[in-house]
């Protein structure tokens, strides 16, 4: 063995170990001391709305009777990745970021890992809803949940009542019968009213999230880690049958020859169709409730959980758009940032904040308190079964899903080839945002 090389390797290893020890120590020594009348000043960047965030911070400051200064910069979600990376390259950047989980993967290597000595994995999962596991790394925690916005089903009561249907669908299979009563065609076969909007992506709001929910309900995690710890897609890795089933179910609604035909590309967007009273069910986020009310205050609708597969009795995963805080590895204020984030995500304040947003909560202890509001009660149930996956770029993955379905429905590819090609494209996308790969 070369002695010089050996000594050099030992020195490098020693330095690396020291960095690990120091990094762990930063969090291990933090005791959550907030007795001072002036809390540390930190900087946070994110795509969460600034006005909403600043109001929340000010409310906490008043309640605590302390000076709480957070310099928050809102960055458009489509520009956040480039903005954040460029700042770090210049030696700048924030102490923490507040972004949706769908932007988490490209920045995982830039985030500080919080050791389980600070908060155990069991305590983390006992504190937060199931979807929060996306923040768990084998060696620690890469973020703390802040808000959750689950996908739910809005349904038009008047359309159901007029068709003699007493209740909303709990199973995806229910739509086979619902289409017979709720989907109406003219004498030329043109759609006038529809039971459900599925089958393609162009004019269906939240199509990526709906299709993703179907995959998650089928047991497909969409992305996963391989034996070497690299993230890959699970679309074409030993799970073709589940993906094939989802595609065939999804695609049947745009096939004029199929009895379930209820949608096509000439229709307006699914939200617009629901608002105008020609679509019986609409799959949208909980946060869309107020928007629907404002856009058409006369529509008689209600909200239910996303339908599920028959095999589970209707219980199934629903996509949840989760925002969370992550500490930036290069920040000189990690302990201070963690102290502030602990305050921002405490049950004492987060419960009132989610109520103000009219959204469910990410914390189990807050959900356990219950609510007298029927919508919040329903949204909390949706939050408990919400799920997501680590993605590289939601716009790009949405296009991959769309192309996979479109290439099959158009007859351009058979379903096996469509799945294989989509899997290859998705893996290329994932690899493009992971420097270590």
Please report where in the chains the tokens 């949940």 appear, as a residue. Answer: 145
Region class of 306: left (phi > 0), else alpha (psi between -120 and 50), else beta: beta
Query: How many residues appear in the chain?
Result: 437
In sequence order, what E strands does 89-134 have?
96-100
Confidence band for 239, pLDDT divided at 50, 70 and 90: low
CB 389 within 8 A of CB 212: yes
Q: What is the mean pLDDT of residues 295-321?
A: 92
Return the C-alpha torsion angle 56, 62, 65, 71, nearest 10.
40
| 229 torsion bin: left (phi>0), alpha (psi -120 to 50), beta (else) | left
Looking at residue 36, what is its pLDDT?
Answer: 61
For residue 1, pLDDT beyond 70: no
Sign of the torsion angle spanned by Cα atoms 233, 235, 236, 239: positive
pLDDT at 230: 87
> Among 83-97, 135-149, 163-177, 303-317, whose mean pLDDT is lowest?
303-317
Q: Which domains, from first to last, does the chain contain? A: 31-148+321-372 (3.40.190.10), 150-319+390-432 (3.40.190.10)
Share of the chain above pLDDT 70, in %: 90
Mean per-residue pLDDT for 112-127? Answer: 97
Whether the Cβ atoms of residue 233 and residue 250 lie closer than 8 Å to each other: no
Q: What is the pTM of this model?
A: 0.91
Mean pLDDT of 110-135: 97
What percentage of the chain reaches a pLDDT higher than 90?
84
Q: Which residues of 115-146 are buried (b: 16+ CB within 10 A; e: fewer)?
A: bbebbeeeebeebbbebbebbbeeebbbbbbb
CA neighbours closer than 13 Å in the CB half-sphere of residue 224: 14
Phi, psi of 349 (to 5 degrees): -110, -30
Strand ranges inside 228-280, DSSP E = 231-233
The Cα–Cα gap between 283 and 261 comes to 18
150 CB burial (10 A radius; 0-12, 13-18, 19+): buried
């Amino acid at each position: 063995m070369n002695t010089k090389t050996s000594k050099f390797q030992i020195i490098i290893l020693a330095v690396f170990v020291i960095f690990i020890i120091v990094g762990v120590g930063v969090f291990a020594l933090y005791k959550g001391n907030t007795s001072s009348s002036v809390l540390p000043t930190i900087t946070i960047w994110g795509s969460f709305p600034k006005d909403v965030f600043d109001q929340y911070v000010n409310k906490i400051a008043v309640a605590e009777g302390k000076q709480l200064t957070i310099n928050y910069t809102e960055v458009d979600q489509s520009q956040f990745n480039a903005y954040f990376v460029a700042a770090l390259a210049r030696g700048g950047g924030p102490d923490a970021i507040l972004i949706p989980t769908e932007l988490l993967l490209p920045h995982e290597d830039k985030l500080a890992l919080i050791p389980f000595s600070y908060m155990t994995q069991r305590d983390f999962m006992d504190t937060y809803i199931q979807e929060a596991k996306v923040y768990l790394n084998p060696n620690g925690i890469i973020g703390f949940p802040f808000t959750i916005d689950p996908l739910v089903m809005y349904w038009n009561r008047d359309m159901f009542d007029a068709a003699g249907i007493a209740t909303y669908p709990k199973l995806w299979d229910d739509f086979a019968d619902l289409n017979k009563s709720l989907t109406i065609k003219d004498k030329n076969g043109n759609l006038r009213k529809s039971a459900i909007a599925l089958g393609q992506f162009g004019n269906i709001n939240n199509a990526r999230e709906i299709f993703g929910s179907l995959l998650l309900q089928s047991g497909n995690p969409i992305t996963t880690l391989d034996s070497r710890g690299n993230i890959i897609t699970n679309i074409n890795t030993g799970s073709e049958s589940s993906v094939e089933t989802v595609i065939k179910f999804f695609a049947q609604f745009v096939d004029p020859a199929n009895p379930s035909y209820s949608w096509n590309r000439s229709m307006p967007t699914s939200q617009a169709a629901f608002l105008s009273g020609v679509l019986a069910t609409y799959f949208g986020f909980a946060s869309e409730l107020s928007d629907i009310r404002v856009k058409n205050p006369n529509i008689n609708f209600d909200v239910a959980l996303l339908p599920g597969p028959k095999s589970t009795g209707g219980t199934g995963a629903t996509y949840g758009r989760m925002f969370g805080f992550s500490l930036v590895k290069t920040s000189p204020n990690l302990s201070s940032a963690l102290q502030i984030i602990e305050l921002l995500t405490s049950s004492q304040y987060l419960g009132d904040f989610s109520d103000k947003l009219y959204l469910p909560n990410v914390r189990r202890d807050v959900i356990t308190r219950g609510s007298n509001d029927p919508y919040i009660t329903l949204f909390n149930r949706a939050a408990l079964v919400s799920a997501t996956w680590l993605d590289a770029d939601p716009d790009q993955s949405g296009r991959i899903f769309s192309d996979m379905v479109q290439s099959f429905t158009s007859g351009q590819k058979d379903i096996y080839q469509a799945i294989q090609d989509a899997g290859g494209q998705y893996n290329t996308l994932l690899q493009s945002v992971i420097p270590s790969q």
